[in-house]
Amino acid sequence: MLDIKFIRLNEDLVRDAIRNKNEKADLDALLEVDEARRTLQFDFDTLKARQNQVSQTIAKKKKSGEDASELLREMGSVAEQNKTLNAALSEANARLESLLLWIPNIPHPSVPVGFDESANKVVREWGAKPTFDFEPRDHLVIAEQNKLLDLARGAKLSGSGFPVYTGLGASLERGLINFMLNFHIREHGYTEVVVPVLVNRKTMTGTGQLPKLEDDMYRVDQDDLFLIPTAEVPVTNLHADEVLRPDQLPLKYVSYTPCFRREAGSYGKDTRGLQRLHQFNKVEMVRLVKPETSYAALEEMLQDAERILQALGLHYRVVELCTGDLSFAAAKTYDLEVWAPGAARYLEVSSVSNFEDFQARRANIRYRSEDGKPRFLHTLNGSGLATPRLLIALLENYQTSAGGFMIPPALAGYLDMPGVAPVQD
């Protein structure tokens, strides 16, 4: 959430952000409500001051035995006016709060301006695309041949987009999750947390999913709870409504959760196999930091995610998102896109974002600064990584001519159990 004072003083900047992010927030309505609210507040404060002043006069008159009946009648009228003004002010504040929730975050000045992914900027690449002496297969062919997935039974249970992993496929999924968790904990110093996958409306609002993205969420109507779209939601909100000590920062959390997304409006987009799912697994990194360190933290988190792909020996590229491709809440985002030779395209496996104080304001997460005053901190998160497209890349990059695949050395220890061995020619 943006501060209303900031919006007032930077109206043109906010209008640019709304336009460049392809949002439809009604800034004119917001400013109109804000002006009306400020007028009501002034009138209320003026009447309150008059009420306090006259109350003191009445007390003095009563003490000296003077007649205060006229002033008492005036106070009765003032009290009624104050009651009316207070009700109008409460309504205006609620309306203002509602409109503020639809104003997107301001992109960082370094973010390329553009309205779609064609304006994204490739920052760097790592590794080389693999070469094959045969026509590479796509992941679904490999998965079916090796009995790693049962999409038909997943669809029978829940509908399309809810995969069932079987045999070595299930072991690979579990091994990937454990590998990534251990890597971030041991190599990068994150603290693991296990969090609920059902959260309340306040929690979803704190990180910016609500109200804008409610149609993309799975909701339990009876309890007004939401299945999380990412661990970012509960993990960031762990410290909602708290004031942290400076020595507690930075906080670095990592969490594995299943993620749930209705993907409303995405019909026909990359739905083959594991490319776009309603339920998927992801390891998420979250940081809470002092504002002056957040962009250094963003680069560190990006490298943390990159090191997973490097350890797995997968060619990838780092892409800086343009304004039109940024999420509603993000100020700056990098995507990691891994090469999938069977699909002959890059697939996003991670987004790493700095939200500055946007989420902290919504969730009321503060720290006590050096001057002793509570200030909003900065929040960041990043996929470290999401498993479906990572599994696609592993199957397609490590496939063999006979239709099998090799297990990369970094994962071998996570599959060293009875009855499980790398599939080879």
> 117-415 is classed in which CATH architecture?
2-Layer Sandwich (3.30)
Nearest Cα residue to 398 out of 410, 413, 385, 386:
410
The C-alpha R_g of the chain, in whole angstroms, comes to 27
153 counts as catalytic? no
- For 224, what's the count of Cα atoms within 13 Å in the CB-facing half-sphere? 7
Phi, psi dihedral angles at 18 (to 5 degrees): -60, -45
Q: Which residues of the chain register pLDDT less than 70? A: 72, 264-269, 416-425
HSE-CB for 235 with a 13 A CA cutoff = 27
CA 384, CA 54: separation in Å to the nearest integer?
64
Residue with tokens 């609500």: 210
Residue 416, pLDDT score: 61
| 348 is an active site residue | yes
Q: What tokens were used for 242?
A: 């708290």
124 bridge partner residues? 318
CA distance 98 to 252: 31
Residues 6+ apart with CB under 8 A from 15: 27
Q: CATH 1.10.287.40 region(s) of the chain? A: 4-100
Q: Can you read off the two tokens belonging to residue 319?
A: 């892409």
Which token pair is 317? 């590229």
User: Which of 174, 348, 368, 375 is an active site residue?
Assistant: 348
What tokens were used for 355? 């939200």
Question: 391-420 burial, b if ≥16 CB within 10 A, otherwise e?
Answer: bbbbbbbbbeeeebbebbeebeebbeeeee
Are 316 and 126 contacting, i.e. CB atoms less than 8 angstroms apart?
A: yes
Query: Is position 366 annotated as part of the catalytic site?
Result: no
Q: Which two tokens stand for residue 218?
A: 């799975």
pLDDT of 420: 43
User: Which of the residues 37, 137, 261, 362 is marked catalytic?
Assistant: 261
What homologous superfamily does CATH list for 4-100? Answer: Serine-tRNA synthetase, tRNA binding domain (1.10.287.40)
Catalytic-residue membership of 186: no
C-alpha 348 chain-centroid distance: 16
Choose the catalytic residue: 255, 351, 353, 383: 351
Q: Which of 37, 137, 366, 389 is catalytic?
A: 389
DSSP alpha helices (H): ranges in 312-405? 358-363, 387-397
Exactly one of 37, 171, 232, 276 is catalytic; which is it? 276
Q: What is the pLDDT of residues 295-343, one digit of tens each?
A: 999 999 999 999 999 999 999 999 999 999 999 999 999 999 999 999 9
170-187 CB burial, b ≥16 within 10 A, e <16: ebbbebbbebbbebbeee
Q: For the chain, what is the total number of helices (H) and then of strands (E)? A: 13, 14
Contact, 262 vs 151, CB < 8 A? no
Q: What is the chain's percent helix, strand, coil content, to nearest 5?
A: 45, 20, 35
The Cα–Cα gap between 336 and 315 comes to 10
> Contact 165/260 with Cβ under 8 angstroms?
no
